[in-house]
Amino acid sequence: MTSRVLLQTQTPFIIARRFRGKINIQKPRKPHFERQLLIDLSKPTYAPPKYTLPDYINCDRGEKKTKLVQDNPFERILAKECLDWFNTSKMVVFLHVNSISMEEKTPVFAALKKQDMHLRTYGKKIVSMATKGTRYEVVNQLFTSHQNIIFGQPDKADKMFKILKKTPQLVVMGAIIQDRLMSKNELVEFSKLPSLELARSQLCAVLESAGSSLVGQLNCSQQILVSHLEKHLELQNKPNKQDTES
Protein backbone atom coordinates (compact mmCIF):
# COMPACT_ATOMS: atom_id res chain seq x y z
CA MET A 1 0.00 0.00 0.00
CA THR A 2 2.78 2.44 0.84
CA SER A 3 4.55 1.77 -2.45
CA ARG A 4 1.39 2.52 -4.42
CA VAL A 5 0.91 5.78 -2.54
CA LEU A 6 4.47 6.92 -3.28
CA LEU A 7 4.33 6.00 -6.98
CA GLN A 8 1.03 7.67 -7.67
CA THR A 9 1.19 11.03 -9.47
CA GLN A 10 -1.56 13.54 -9.46
CA THR A 11 -2.52 14.84 -12.87
CA PRO A 12 -2.96 18.63 -12.93
CA PHE A 13 -6.43 19.92 -13.56
CA ILE A 14 -6.13 22.08 -16.69
CA ILE A 15 -8.94 23.99 -18.28
CA ALA A 16 -8.41 25.58 -21.69
CA ARG A 17 -9.69 29.15 -21.66
CA ARG A 18 -9.77 31.58 -24.52
CA PHE A 19 -8.78 35.22 -24.26
CA ARG A 20 -11.66 37.40 -23.34
CA GLY A 21 -11.50 39.39 -26.55
CA LYS A 22 -10.00 39.42 -30.02
CA ILE A 23 -6.42 40.60 -30.49
CA ASN A 24 -6.29 44.04 -32.06
CA ILE A 25 -3.84 43.76 -34.94
CA GLN A 26 -4.53 47.11 -36.60
CA LYS A 27 -4.08 49.20 -33.45
CA PRO A 28 -1.98 47.14 -31.05
CA ARG A 29 -1.40 48.27 -27.54
CA LYS A 30 1.79 50.22 -26.90
CA PRO A 31 4.58 48.05 -25.47
CA HIS A 32 6.13 48.53 -22.07
CA PHE A 33 8.62 51.38 -21.66
CA GLU A 34 11.69 49.10 -21.45
CA ARG A 35 10.56 47.08 -24.45
CA GLN A 36 9.86 50.24 -26.43
CA LEU A 37 13.32 51.53 -25.50
CA LEU A 38 14.93 48.32 -26.75
CA ILE A 39 12.94 48.51 -30.01
CA ASP A 40 14.05 52.09 -30.59
CA LEU A 41 17.70 51.27 -29.94
CA SER A 42 17.71 48.27 -32.28
CA LYS A 43 15.82 50.02 -35.07
CA PRO A 44 17.95 50.10 -38.28
CA THR A 45 18.88 53.44 -39.76
CA TYR A 46 18.89 53.99 -43.50
CA ALA A 47 20.63 56.68 -45.51
CA PRO A 48 18.48 59.29 -47.18
CA PRO A 49 17.39 58.50 -50.75
CA LYS A 50 19.70 59.62 -53.53
CA TYR A 51 17.05 61.81 -55.15
CA THR A 52 16.96 63.98 -52.02
CA LEU A 53 20.74 64.56 -52.08
CA PRO A 54 22.41 67.31 -54.13
CA ASP A 55 24.05 66.47 -57.45
CA TYR A 56 27.64 67.04 -56.33
CA ILE A 57 27.34 64.22 -53.76
CA ASN A 58 25.98 61.74 -56.32
CA CYS A 59 28.77 62.55 -58.78
CA ASP A 60 31.38 59.74 -59.04
CA ARG A 61 34.11 61.84 -60.64
CA GLY A 62 35.56 62.96 -57.39
CA GLU A 63 38.89 61.81 -56.05
CA LYS A 64 38.84 58.29 -54.76
CA LYS A 65 40.51 57.60 -51.48
CA THR A 66 43.43 55.21 -51.72
CA LYS A 67 43.50 52.35 -49.28
CA LEU A 68 46.36 52.63 -46.83
CA VAL A 69 48.61 49.59 -46.76
CA GLN A 70 49.68 48.76 -43.23
CA ASP A 71 53.02 47.17 -42.55
CA ASN A 72 52.60 43.75 -40.99
CA PRO A 73 55.79 42.39 -39.34
CA PHE A 74 54.46 38.83 -39.32
CA GLU A 75 53.93 38.94 -43.10
CA ARG A 76 57.52 40.12 -43.55
CA ILE A 77 58.75 37.17 -41.46
CA LEU A 78 56.74 34.74 -43.59
CA ALA A 79 58.02 36.38 -46.79
CA LYS A 80 61.64 36.02 -45.61
CA GLU A 81 61.02 32.36 -44.75
CA CYS A 82 59.47 31.76 -48.19
CA LEU A 83 62.43 33.39 -49.96
CA ASP A 84 64.87 31.24 -47.94
CA TRP A 85 63.03 28.12 -49.12
CA PHE A 86 63.30 29.31 -52.73
CA ASN A 87 67.05 29.98 -52.41
CA THR A 88 67.97 26.75 -50.59
CA SER A 89 65.81 24.29 -52.59
CA LYS A 90 66.91 23.02 -55.99
CA MET A 91 63.40 21.74 -56.74
CA VAL A 92 60.30 23.90 -56.17
CA VAL A 93 56.97 22.36 -57.21
CA PHE A 94 53.75 24.40 -57.41
CA LEU A 95 50.47 22.61 -56.66
CA HIS A 96 46.85 23.44 -57.39
CA VAL A 97 44.75 22.35 -54.40
CA ASN A 98 41.18 21.17 -54.84
CA SER A 99 38.79 20.52 -51.96
CA ILE A 100 40.69 18.40 -49.41
CA SER A 101 40.44 17.90 -45.66
CA MET A 102 43.32 17.98 -43.22
CA GLU A 103 42.84 14.28 -42.48
CA GLU A 104 43.60 13.51 -46.14
CA LYS A 105 46.41 16.05 -46.38
CA THR A 106 48.34 15.05 -43.23
CA PRO A 107 49.56 11.64 -44.58
CA VAL A 108 50.88 13.38 -47.69
CA PHE A 109 52.75 15.90 -45.56
CA ALA A 110 54.28 13.10 -43.46
CA ALA A 111 55.27 11.02 -46.50
CA LEU A 112 56.98 14.01 -48.14
CA LYS A 113 58.74 14.82 -44.87
CA LYS A 114 60.25 11.30 -44.76
CA GLN A 115 61.71 11.87 -48.23
CA ASP A 116 63.26 15.20 -47.14
CA MET A 117 60.61 17.23 -48.99
CA HIS A 118 58.60 19.98 -47.30
CA LEU A 119 55.02 21.00 -48.11
CA ARG A 120 54.28 24.65 -47.35
CA THR A 121 51.20 26.87 -47.85
CA TYR A 122 51.63 30.55 -48.74
CA GLY A 123 49.23 33.22 -49.92
CA LYS A 124 49.57 35.42 -52.97
CA LYS A 125 50.62 38.46 -50.94
CA ILE A 126 53.35 36.57 -49.08
CA VAL A 127 54.82 35.12 -52.30
CA SER A 128 54.64 38.53 -53.98
CA MET A 129 56.54 40.12 -51.09
CA ALA A 130 59.12 37.32 -51.10
CA THR A 131 59.81 37.20 -54.86
CA LYS A 132 59.55 40.90 -55.70
CA GLY A 133 62.76 42.04 -57.41
CA THR A 134 64.22 38.50 -57.53
CA ARG A 135 64.60 35.93 -60.30
CA TYR A 136 61.51 34.12 -59.00
CA GLU A 137 59.13 37.02 -59.63
CA VAL A 138 57.59 35.27 -62.66
CA VAL A 139 55.93 32.65 -60.41
CA ASN A 140 53.44 35.26 -59.15
CA GLN A 141 51.30 34.52 -62.21
CA LEU A 142 50.61 31.04 -60.83
CA PHE A 143 49.06 32.39 -57.62
CA THR A 144 45.48 33.53 -57.23
CA SER A 145 45.00 32.66 -53.56
CA HIS A 146 46.62 30.32 -51.06
CA GLN A 147 48.72 27.73 -52.88
CA ASN A 148 50.80 24.75 -51.75
CA ILE A 149 54.48 24.51 -52.63
CA ILE A 150 56.82 21.52 -52.27
CA PHE A 151 60.49 22.27 -51.60
CA GLY A 152 63.05 19.51 -52.08
CA GLN A 153 65.85 18.10 -54.21
CA PRO A 154 65.59 17.07 -57.90
CA ASP A 155 66.54 13.45 -57.27
CA LYS A 156 63.30 12.93 -55.30
CA ALA A 157 60.98 13.90 -58.18
CA ASP A 158 59.92 10.32 -58.96
CA LYS A 159 59.11 9.63 -55.29
CA MET A 160 57.09 12.84 -55.13
CA PHE A 161 54.87 11.70 -58.02
CA LYS A 162 54.33 8.33 -56.32
CA ILE A 163 53.18 10.09 -53.14
CA LEU A 164 50.91 12.56 -54.94
CA LYS A 165 49.35 9.74 -56.98
CA LYS A 166 47.35 8.70 -53.89
CA THR A 167 45.83 12.20 -53.52
CA PRO A 168 44.31 13.46 -56.80
CA GLN A 169 43.24 16.67 -55.04
CA LEU A 170 46.83 17.94 -55.29
CA VAL A 171 47.56 18.74 -58.95
CA VAL A 172 51.06 19.65 -60.14
CA MET A 173 51.11 22.85 -62.23
CA GLY A 174 54.83 23.40 -62.75
CA ALA A 175 58.21 23.41 -61.08
CA ILE A 176 61.59 25.11 -60.88
CA ILE A 177 64.50 22.68 -61.27
CA GLN A 178 67.91 24.28 -60.72
CA ASP A 179 66.75 27.76 -61.76
CA ARG A 180 64.81 26.46 -64.78
CA LEU A 181 61.02 26.76 -65.02
CA MET A 182 59.41 23.50 -66.19
CA SER A 183 55.86 22.47 -67.05
CA LYS A 184 54.22 19.37 -65.64
CA ASN A 185 55.08 17.24 -68.70
CA GLU A 186 58.72 18.30 -68.56
CA LEU A 187 58.81 17.50 -64.86
CA VAL A 188 57.38 14.02 -65.52
CA GLU A 189 60.08 13.37 -68.15
CA PHE A 190 62.73 14.67 -65.75
CA SER A 191 61.55 12.32 -63.00
CA LYS A 192 62.01 9.32 -65.33
CA LEU A 193 65.68 10.11 -65.90
CA PRO A 194 68.26 8.02 -63.99
CA SER A 195 70.12 9.45 -61.03
CA LEU A 196 73.33 11.44 -61.46
CA GLU A 197 75.54 8.63 -60.09
CA LEU A 198 73.99 6.10 -62.48
CA ALA A 199 74.38 8.47 -65.44
CA ARG A 200 78.04 9.02 -64.54
CA SER A 201 78.68 5.27 -64.30
CA GLN A 202 77.01 4.74 -67.70
CA LEU A 203 79.13 7.52 -69.23
CA CYS A 204 82.31 6.00 -67.79
CA ALA A 205 81.30 2.60 -69.18
CA VAL A 206 80.74 4.10 -72.65
CA LEU A 207 84.09 5.92 -72.58
CA GLU A 208 85.89 2.81 -71.38
CA SER A 209 84.29 0.64 -74.05
CA ALA A 210 85.26 3.16 -76.73
CA GLY A 211 88.87 3.16 -75.53
CA SER A 212 89.07 -0.61 -75.30
CA SER A 213 87.59 -1.00 -78.80
CA LEU A 214 90.12 1.52 -80.15
CA VAL A 215 93.00 -0.37 -78.56
CA GLY A 216 91.62 -3.63 -79.96
CA GLN A 217 91.38 -2.21 -83.46
CA LEU A 218 94.94 -0.86 -83.30
CA ASN A 219 96.32 -4.20 -82.10
CA CYS A 220 94.29 -6.22 -84.58
CA SER A 221 96.51 -5.47 -87.59
CA GLN A 222 99.66 -6.23 -85.60
CA GLN A 223 98.27 -9.52 -84.37
CA ILE A 224 97.26 -10.49 -87.92
CA LEU A 225 100.75 -9.62 -89.18
CA VAL A 226 102.40 -11.68 -86.46
CA SER A 227 100.14 -14.66 -87.17
CA HIS A 228 100.95 -14.48 -90.90
CA LEU A 229 104.70 -14.33 -90.20
CA GLU A 230 104.48 -17.33 -87.93
CA LYS A 231 102.57 -19.23 -90.57
CA HIS A 232 105.17 -18.30 -93.18
CA LEU A 233 107.98 -19.55 -90.96
CA GLU A 234 106.19 -22.83 -90.44
CA LEU A 235 105.80 -23.29 -94.18
CA GLN A 236 109.51 -22.57 -94.78
CA ASN A 237 110.65 -24.98 -92.09
CA LYS A 238 108.61 -27.96 -93.34
CA PRO A 239 110.84 -28.80 -96.43
CA ASN A 240 113.99 -28.59 -94.36
CA LYS A 241 112.62 -31.27 -92.02
CA GLN A 242 111.89 -33.56 -94.97
CA ASP A 243 115.42 -33.18 -96.32
CA THR A 244 116.96 -34.07 -93.01
CA GLU A 245 114.84 -37.21 -92.77
CA SER A 246 115.83 -38.39 -96.26
CATH number at residue 106: 3.30.70.1730
CA-CA distance, 161 to 183, in Å (whole number)?
14
The pLDDT of residue 151 is 92
87 occurs within a structural domain: yes
13 occurs within a structural domain: no
122 occurs within a structural domain: yes
44 occurs within a structural domain: no
Q: What angle do CA 95, 99, 102 make, to 5 degrees?
A: 85
- Kindly give the parts of the chain with pLDDT less than 70: 1-10, 12-21, 60-67, 239-246
63 occurs within a structural domain: no
| pLDDT 10s digits, 8-46 | 666 766 666 665 667 778 888 888 899 999 988 898 888
21 occurs within a structural domain: no
- For CA atoms 59, 60, 65, 67, give the dihedral sign: positive
98 occurs within a structural domain: yes
Q: What share of the chain is helix, strand, coil (3-state, %, to 5)?
A: 55, 10, 35
> Taking every pair of C-alpha atoms in the chain, what is the biggest distance, in angstroms?
165
Domain count, the chain: 1
Name the strands in the sheet holding 170-177, side by side, starting at the edge strand that comes first in the sequence.
118-122, 147-152, 91-97, 170-177, 181-183
Domain residues for the domain of 176 are 73-191
136 occurs within a structural domain: yes
